[in-house]
Structure 1
């Protein structure tokens, strides 16, 4: 009578791990749901690609027609969302420290009278620079909107004296600077943040799942059965155990590349094959790092 052929140790470990994966919803959430959530989150977090409607405040100490025009001009800037008007600088400063707003503009007392009388008038703005990207956006937007306002009185006075507006503008701003950013002309944050940020989160997930998959054998005291199914070969035991996770994570990485570079049209300088090959190596290297970490710190 011919005996049925038994499975090889590699297949035995593989089938055993597949049964463990499908018996607990934890693996489904960690291997599929969380990566998909990270892809969706990083693909939509930046919206149009630029920061818009950053909360700021205005401290109007003049209460004049000119100050109200300045406030309305600031409110039209897409970068800003004027969420509060303050009666003193101390309240605005506290709101900035509490991150209720990320900057505020101060219009000093007697601002309109100083402008009309030709005296020096100062508009001050403050911004929260603990968050560098937000602070840079607020500062750049303030400089952009206040530069024409600062030249307005001079241009009006010179025009009244018969000097053309273009002549005055060329005198005040003799050098016209044009900015042409390479590789990211739209200054889109998603171009250089979405893809790396996703793979940082994805790497953390791979490390956690790898360490847990190996450590659960010790935690639940099933290590002997695991090695027995691998016929005592630790290399076979580890590789066969991690293979299902490797396949799932590679599929997720390739899908993330498709979403980032295919759907969102993030520019890249190589083809999809080299890009996906890098993703495959990334998954394998991260799993190898997880095995190394577990070999040093086996207690989870």
Structure 2
């Protein structure tokens, strides 16, 4: 066991002479943590702009829009008239996601038919997209 500690001590003594090792051990991880802290400390992933295209126009769909706006990660920033307008808003960078509420949403819910709202999520910003996707799926399963 004494040779193990002698080898370990020799390695520790060589660290100050090896700049690459010092960079990989201390500077790179610390700078990465500072960058990530800066990204998430500002609430960057809070109140992200989303658009909701309400093709039903019922009181139930308006309630769903209010619930989307109440999510901590989302803010309903636009109400496009069509899904194409919503996708164009994603391409222009105005919103990160578009939720499309289909026609006959309320009627199908009352008749206990399966209802499927479609969400188009910006794939260019993966952390943002994954947070919005998670929250929208959770909202759909809870509703």
Compute the displacement of 1:114 (Å). Answer: 1.1
Compute the displacement of 1:119 (Å). Answer: 2.2
Compute the displacement of 1:138 (Å). Answer: 1.3
Equivalent residue in structure 1 for 2:69, among 75, 81, 97: 75
Equivalents in 2 of 1:81, 1:117: separation in Å?
30
Structure 2: any 5+ residue segments left out of the alignment?
1-30
Equivalents in 1 of 2:106, 2:80: separation in Å?
19
- 3-state DSSP of counterpart to 1:141: helix
Equivalent residue in structure 1 for 2:83, among 89, 110, 114: 89
TM-score scaled by length of structure 1: 0.34
Aligned residue in 1 for 2:109: 115
- 3-state DSSP of counterpart to 2:75: strand
Equivalents in 2 of 1:86, 1:50: separation in Å?
24
CA deviation profile, 1:46-82 (whole Å, cap 9, x unmatched)? 2266611111000001010100110111110010011
Number of equivalenced pairs: 110
Aligned residue in 2 for 1:57: 51
Compute the displacement of 1:44 (Å). Answer: 4.3
- 3-state DSSP of counterpart to 2:135: helix
Equivalents in 2 of 1:138, 1:76: separation in Å?
13
CA deviation profile, 1:77-122 (whole Å, cap 9, x unmatched)? 0100111011110100000111110001111111101111222221
Equivalents in 2 of 1:102, 1:71: separation in Å?
16
Equivalents in 2 of 1:121, 1:53: separation in Å?
26
Aligned residue in 1 for 2:13: none
Aligned residue in 2 for 1:129: 123
**CA RMSD, aligned part only?**
2.0
Equivalents in 1 of 2:80, 2:43: separation in Å?
31
Aligned residue in 2 for 1:105: 99
Q: Which structure shows the bigger proportion of residues in helix conformation?
A: 1
TM-score scaled by length of structure 2: 0.70
Q: Which structure shows the bigger proportion of residues in strand conformation?
A: 2
Q: Which ranges of 4 or more aligned residues in structure 1 deviate by more than 2 Å? A: 41-50
CA deviation profile, 1:2-31 (whole Å, cap 9, x unmatched)? xxxxxxxxxxxxxxxxxxxxxxxxxxxxxx
Aligned residue in 2 for 1:233: none
